[in-house]
């Protein structure tokens, strides 16, 4: 209850500061609209915003599922294969030196202006954090647990699935939390580069028509969506942490 009250208070203070800046500076609405004007724009365009938000929501969900699955599979392969660690891991590290945003035009060229270029962008952004976090967890299993499993005659597969993976769940949770934050960024970047739907497209459209209030309403919708994604993933990872402790 206290946490909820503090969050609401922080939101009210932020809105009051925003409105005060608008009133005291006299900045034109097409540069910085006040919160009341943004709220009116949201109410007037709620169906339009909801339609584009569903597109972005679909892209983010697919990106999270595919990116997390691919990242976990890669981490398991790296943890069980010395050859993969020697050959694949340096490539993964080098890939992070390439700005992912610079790949968005190429993805649009290869996959078109539809859904999958945005999903691919989200996958690329979240793939490395999930892979890296889960791999680190798999490689940091307490040595005493491994020795005990080997003493009891467990196979390497059993040690991996019943000892190393459960011990790495907290690390995987950290990677998934990062993925929940990064995935909407990837989807919106893809929409900015080339799209006819989604919140990123709607923001560009509103900006081009000097409808700054609609752009802010879309941006706030995206922010709320990102927070909800984080809270949902955080709830899931807490359950993973509980299972690991049990």
Radius of gyration (Cα) for the chain, nearest Å?
22
Q: What does the DSSP 8-state code read for residue 111?
A: H
Q: How many CB atoms lie within 10 A of CB 105?
A: 13
Q: Where are the domains of the chain?
A: 1-29, 33-245
Q: Consecutive sets of 10 residues in the chain, 246 residues long: mean pLDDT of each?
A: 74 89 88 91 94 94 94 93 86 80 86 89 92 92 85 84 89 90 89 88 90 93 89 82 58
Tell me which architecture the domain covering 33-245 has in CATH.
Orthogonal Bundle (1.10)
Convert the pLDDT of each residue in 87-139 to its tens digit: 888 888 787 778 878 888 888 888 888 889 999 999 999 999 999 999 999 99
Give this prediction's pTM: 0.87
- Reference 188, options 84, 66, 104; nearest CA is 104
């Amino acid at each position: 209850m206290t946490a909820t009250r503090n969050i609401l208070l922080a939101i009210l203070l932020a809105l009051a500061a925003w409105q005060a800046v608008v009133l005291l500076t006299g900045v034109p609405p097409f540069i910085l609209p006040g919160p009341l004007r943004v709220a009116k724009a949201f109410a007037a365009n709620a169906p339009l915003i909801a339609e584009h938000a569903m597109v972005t929501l679909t892209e983010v969900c697919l990106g999270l599922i595919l990116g997390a699955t691919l990242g976990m599979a890669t981490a398991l392969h790296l943890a069980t294969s010395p050859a993969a660690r020697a050959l694949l891991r340096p490539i993964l590290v080098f890939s992070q030196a390439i700005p992912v945003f610079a790949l968005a035009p190429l993805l649009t060229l290869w996959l078109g202006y539809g859904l999958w270029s945005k999903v691919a962008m989200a996958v690329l952004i979240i793939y490395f954090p999930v892979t890296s976090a889960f791999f680190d967890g798999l490689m940091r299993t307490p040595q005493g647990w491994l020795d005990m499993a080997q003493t009891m005659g467990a196979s390497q597969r059993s040690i991996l699935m019943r000892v190393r993976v459960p011990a790495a769940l907290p690390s995987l949770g950290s990677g998934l939390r990062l993925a929940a934050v990064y995935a909407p960024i990837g989807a919106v970047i893809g929409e900015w580069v080339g799209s006819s739907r989604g919140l990123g497209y709607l923001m560009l459209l509103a900006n081009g028509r000097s409808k700054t209030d609609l752009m802010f309403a879309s941006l706030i919708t995206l922010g709320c969506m990102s927070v909800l994604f984080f809270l949902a993933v955080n709830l899931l990872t807490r359950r993973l942490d509980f299972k690991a402790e049990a």
